[in-house]
Amino acid sequence: MSSLTILLGLDALHGLPRDSHLLLATRAVRLFAYGTIGIFLALYLKRLGFTDTQIGLFLSLTLAGDAVLSFVVSANADHLGRRLMLVAGAILMTISGAAFATVDLFVKGAPLFWALTALGVIGVISPSGNEVGPFMPVEQSILSNSVSFEKRTSLFAYYAFLGALATAGGSFTAGWLVQFLSQGPWQIPILSAYRIVISTYAVLGIVLFALFCCVSSNVEIERGTDEERARLVDNAAAGQGSAAGAEEVVAQNGAGAAEVGAAAANVASRRPGRGFYVRPESRKIVVTMCALFALDSFGSGAVTASWVSYWLNSRFGVEEGHLGTILSTANIIAAISSLFSGAVARRLGLVNTMVFTHLPANVFVLLLPFSPNLPTASALIWLRYSMSQMDVAPRQAYIASVVAPEDRTTVLGLCNLAKTVGNCLGPLLTGVLAESGMFDAAFWVGGGVKIVYDLLIWWRLKRVSGDAR
């Protein structure tokens, strides 16, 4: 195996089960779909006649609905069935896309805003071009158990790489397709061009549904029998919990050596079917992580891809095709940089990588409103994306490592919920600021809050881990 393969983390793909490869494929399809709709969602709503505040409220309520859906699904997926939850999410995504593309043909005036908002809240619509809904916590929990502890960060780096690359493809395709349909030979109305692209979102939901149907029952969590749990309890009581049954725990859960004792104790004590249960020893770190992630996501929500596109269009008059090029380039840069996050984490440690790559990216957010022209703004956006996603894989690996395997789906769901709750407040703030003539302030608020998050997470997790690793 070449050193480049190891450096890029591609060694984590070696020996992955078929189901894990399918989940990587669903990640790519889903993020391509999110990229197609996230780039122009705010512009689409503006052309429907909504005010900036209404756009912000729509984006916020949509994210709030996604947060509730994600929490309910991740808290019950292990009990009700992981495949069932994933398939149900794909169905909701398909229905949402189809309805969102056509509802304004039947509903006019003031009711249109509430009709679209209801669709966004109930269904699965990505207002930012990023991951939303019930999929990621369940997928990450499954993937965590498919590799060893040492390869987990690299696998999550590749997971992030696929997502960013697919988002780039979706943004580029959607931007130039809208511009071609509206300005090319057919000269169709811009709203009709938007509807055609949104319809592809529904089609990709059908593809996602088909892929999830191909996932096997091996992804479901296996809970030990009463006799197995009793045996592990006896081993733990005798001080043998981390040694006795270690091979069994590693084989079943892919846990690393540092996790074996926690995994054994968890299997011994956890009662099947506790959808919202998290072991007491995991709760403190989970609460800390959720609070910090909510803060970070509040800053992210203020400067989503939809708002950045809107800002570029209003400030420099950038058309949809060029918006697609700018944001797709940004996501390609993010995809490439995310591949190196595993190697960086192995050298600097998980926490240091989370902070030292994320902090400079947020400085570029603060500088964006000072851009005198489009090339400068584009360069700052690309510089931001060159580091903004390098914290994702280490963060996911850190969470998966500090909780026991049977808690992972619930904990990842709780963290995703906290992120989405924080995220849903940002767009509304940006909408209010934009309508008040203070659009630039949204970037200062968003970047400043995210810098505070970086400093807090380094200080807090350094105290937990001792060496910030």
- The total number of structural domains that make up the chain: 2
**Predicted confidence (pLDDT) at residue 266 exceeds the cutoff of 50:** no
Domain at 440, CATH number: 1.20.1250.20
Close Cβ partners of 307 (under 8 Å, ≥ 6 residues apart)? 42, 59, 427, 430, 434, 442
301 and 174 in a single domain? The answer is yes
199 and 256 in a single domain? The answer is no
313 and 249 in a single domain? The answer is no
The answer to the question of residue 214 being in a domain is yes
Give Cα 386 to chain centroid, integer Å.
17
Residues 431, 313: contact at Cβ < 8 Å? no
Confidence of residue 11 (pLDDT cuts 50, 70, 90): low
247 and 114 in a single domain? The answer is no
pLDDT (0 to 100) of residue 12 = 64
159 and 258 in a single domain? The answer is no
Q: Kindly report the pTM of this predicted structure.
A: 0.75
316 and 377 in a single domain? The answer is yes
Average pLDDT, the chain: 80
Which of 200, 234, 269 terminates a domain? The answer is 269
Mean pLDDT value across residues 119-140: 80
The answer to the question of residue 1 being in a domain is no
The answer to the question of residue 4 being in a domain is no
**Predicted confidence (pLDDT) at residue 466 exceeds the cutoff of 50:** no
The answer to the question of residue 2 being in a domain is no
**Predicted confidence (pLDDT) at residue 71 exceeds the cutoff of 80:** no
DSSP label of 273 = T
284 and 257 in a single domain? The answer is no
Radius of gyration for the alpha carbons in the chain, expressed in angstroms and rounded:
22
pLDDT (0 to 100) of residue 38 = 84
d(CA 355, CA 337): 15
248 and 307 in a single domain? The answer is no
Question: Residues for the chain: how many in total?
Answer: 469
Domain interval for residue 245: 226-269
φ/ψ region of 220 (left if φ > 0, alpha if ψ in -120 to 50, else beta) reads: beta
Nearest to 177 by CA among 208, 201, 209, 207: 201
98 and 152 in a single domain? The answer is yes
69 and 149 in a single domain? The answer is yes
